[in-house]
Structure 1
Amino acid sequence: MTLTSEQEAIRDLARRLANEEIAPKARQIDETSTFDRALHRRLGELGFLGMTAPAEYGGSDSDTVTWCMVVEEIAKASSAVANGVTLTESMVHYLVAMGTEEQKKKYLPRLASGESLCSFCLTEPNAGSDAASLATTATIDGDDVILNGQKMWISGALVADFFIVVATVDKSQRSKGVRTYIVERGTSGLSFGEKLDLMGIRGFATAPVFFDNCTISKSQQLGGEEGFRAVMHGLDGAGRLGAAAMAVGVAQAAMDVALKYSLEREQFRQPIFDFQSVQFMLADMAIEIEAARLLVHKAAALRDANKAFSFATSLAKTFAGDMCMRNVTNAMQVFGGYCYSKEYPIERLFRDAKIHQIWDGTNQVQRMIIARHLKKEAA
């Protein structure tokens, strides 16, 4: 795939930002589990938040391929910071696709600039992969909507300024009863649990979110009756594609530090890189990372061309997530015992890698989607 000069320039800008401004803070963000709002605003200043949003709403009118390259570069430096990029892009997608003109003008410029952060309240204690089994309810009361329920694993919950909440107006209707709403921080009945002490992707204020007779105006509904379909479409796009691009970035970072270490570390009077077993491990990493990157870019290109991209996205997300976990593990093997020391970033990369097989639809669920597509094509 050939990149345009503009795409290369944007990628290089993201790489410089990652190396010069994000990487030096990555360890501190991880160890303190603290969201760096100034760094998030810096991303907005450079146009890396809400990249695919129309320029009239503060976006960059960028293509998805370019956005995926930016996510990869930032993830190489810090998964926590990259998570802010992918989350924002997902929220931008929902607002562009389903929002009223008033909602777009109110929220999109704030997201694109980094002034505000929006969290996505979908996952619940008993509703993960089976998103249609939501227990959070939305009860219509005249011109109001009353929300009741609990959300879990909500990225950015403790720092977000508003929330896109997925709830059901009728549990018996399963997916057909799903609706989405915008809830502002400070709304009565909205509260939060303690910050979760996560293994990886630390520094993004992840916490449970509670709705106890949380009353909002019906005008804060996002989209119409096709709530579940819109949610799934959003997960295919910025959600799963972003996760796949992040996985490529984490794997690339792991290979980079493993290669550097193998050239410096000597055993038996020679760099360990000179041993064929180490060379083959690094070669396999390079092969798989490039393959994953191409899958991501193909899915992104299909989305940009307004062609069906769900199948391609599941392929990319599954392969990239599994590849990331496998190759970061192999990179740790190159480090030997030193991989257990926080002195080297490989320890943090290992903790950040696992989530890519889990979030935005587990890789087992992705394989179900892939298999259904194969059956449909064979019919």
Structure 2
Amino acid sequence: MSNKAQATGLLDSVIALVKTDLAPLASAIDQQGVYPADFLHKLGALGGFGATAPAELDGSGLGLATQNDIITQVGQECGSTAFLVWCQTACVGYLLHTSNLTARTRYLRAVASGEKLSGTGMSNAVKHLAGIERIHLNARRDGDDYIVTGSLPWVSNVGEEHLAMVAAAVEDGGYVMLVVHGNAEGVSLHPCPEFAGLEGTQTLNIRLKNARIDAGDVLAHPDQFNHYLSRIKPGFVLSQTGMGFGVIQASLKTIRESNAATAHVNQYLDDQGDDLSHALQQLHEQAHTLAAQADVGRAAVLDVLKLRAATSELTLRAANSAILHAGAKGFLMRHPAQRRLREAVFVAIVTPALKHLRKEIAALEADHLQTEAA
């Protein structure tokens, strides 16, 4: 079977599972904070997290573009769950690129198959490295292990039986990336204040107090960290576009449905469905091109950041247009338009947020100008 046929078959299976198992839960996930653990396990068993993992590690080897398309299909029905799929697949990427074979052997198959669920607690570290906030976790080396203390205010897709993959500043310099168990000694999980959306993402506060992380759970030591981050960052950022694409597709559906009765007045709105659809197609093509480059470690970070920013901007436009097309009905709790608007804002504020992206883009472009002038 060709890769294209295999990818089509996988996506068809994902679409069917979304329809039967996720669609009936979408309102409860949003309004009651239901965490769709069963759906995540089933999606993993289908191969929904393992597109970037090679066949010898129980993945499909179909690549990041297919993984992004899976996230998009989930996001068309529920943005919160698309975010959880992103969390899980980001962790697959971390495990794929670690040079620690012990960690890869321990966790990759279980995470890629959805047997073991995992959250990515890299938001703080990514913002810290961009000069936005201080690092919250600190580590000291003890032989081949690390002793970690600190608190991450919100990490999603975590629980006592889950993993979390985080970074900490090391006391004698540099950073270390680690796998943390939710039920490990010295690790505690605490609820966050209620969110306006994304309540069904099992987002918790993680606190570590002298938690020992053994050498087998170290993804990157300080001397490896910069290279490791440069390898995982393109996929980490690029796969978030799938969340936005899903919300945009759902918003376009609302626009089409609304126009069945009120196209005569909706035509005066700024963002029309055809224009938004054309813009989405362009971003989707860029995402596939960059995904193929990221699979072999050649995606330019600046291009990835620009695409991610453009996706946030289009997601906001599409969701805003959808609720304007729907009119007053879009404010009903049972109507998806108001949920999509909240999900779109999340796409624009989840790390790297739109303001963060623009900061990094400006810095990289300034560096390029200096290099050209030298």
Aligned to 1:345: 336
Distance 2:288 2:275 in 1: 20
Whether the 8 Å CA contact 1:151–1:208 is kept in 2: the answer is yes
Distance 1:145 1:230 in 2: 18
SS in 2 for 1:208: strand
Whether the 8 Å CA contact 1:328–1:353 is kept in 2: the answer is yes
What amino acid maps onto 2:228 in structure 1?
A
Whether the 8 Å CA contact 2:80–2:200 is kept in 1: the answer is yes
2:246 is the alignment partner of 1:255:
no
Aligned positions, number: 366
Distance 2:125 2:204 in 1: 12
Distance 1:188 1:256 in 2: 48
| Structure 2 CA distance for partners of 1:183 and 1:79, relative to 1, 3 Å | same
Superposition TM-score, scaled by structure 1 size = 0.88
Whether the 8 Å CA contact 2:100–2:218 is kept in 1: the answer is no
* Percentage of identical aligned residues: 22
> Which region of structure 1 is more displaced relative to structure 2, 278-287 or 358-367?
278-287
**Post-superposition offset of 1:212:** 0.9
Q: Deviation digits for residues 340-369 of structure 1, max 9, x if unmatched?
A: 111211111111111211223122232233
Distance 1:54 1:113 in 2: 12
Distance 1:58 1:301 in 2: 20
- 2:293 pairs with 286, 289, 302, which one? 302
Distance 1:203 1:275 in 2: 33
What amino acid maps onto 1:221 in structure 2?
V
Aligned to 2:51: 51
Runs of 4+ more than 6 Å apart:
none
**Post-superposition offset of 1:373:** 4.0
**Post-superposition offset of 1:101:** 2.2
Aligned to 1:95: 95
Distance 2:303 2:127 in 1: 25
Distance 2:153 2:354 in 1: 20
2:167 is the alignment partner of 1:141:
no
Q: Deviation digits for residues 218-259 of structure 1, max 9, x if unmatched?
A: 33221232224423542321x211211110110110111221
> Which region of structure 1 is more displaced relative to structure 2, 126-135 or 70-79?
126-135
SS in 1 for 2:360: helix
Aligned to 1:367: 358
| Structure 2 CA distance for partners of 1:255 and 1:368, relative to 1, 3 Å | same
Distance 1:125 1:370 in 2: 18
2:152 is the alignment partner of 1:151:
yes
| Structure 2 CA distance for partners of 1:26 and 1:204, relative to 1, 3 Å | same
**Post-superposition offset of 1:280:** 5.9
> Which region of structure 1 is more displaced relative to structure 2, 291-300 or 74-83?
291-300
What amino acid maps onto 1:370 in structure 2?
I
**Post-superposition offset of 1:149:** 0.5
Superposition TM-score, scaled by structure 2 size = 0.89
| Structure 2 CA distance for partners of 1:258 and 1:56, relative to 1, 3 Å | same
Q: Deviation digits for residues 23-73 of structure 1, max 9, x if unmatched?
A: 221111112212121111110121111321122222221211111111111
| Structure 2 CA distance for partners of 1:13 and 1:277, relative to 1, 3 Å | farther
Aligned to 2:28: 28
User: Over the residues paired in the alignment, what is the CA RMSD in angstroms?
Assistant: 2.5
What amino acid maps onto 1:157 in structure 2?
V
SS in 1 for 2:81: helix
Aligned to 1:120: 120
> Which region of structure 1 is more displaced relative to structure 2, 250-259 or 210-219?
210-219
Aligned to 2:184: 187
Q: Deviation digits for residues 141-199 of structure 1, max 9, x if unmatched?
A: 3454211101122011336522222101137x4xxx11012222321110012144222
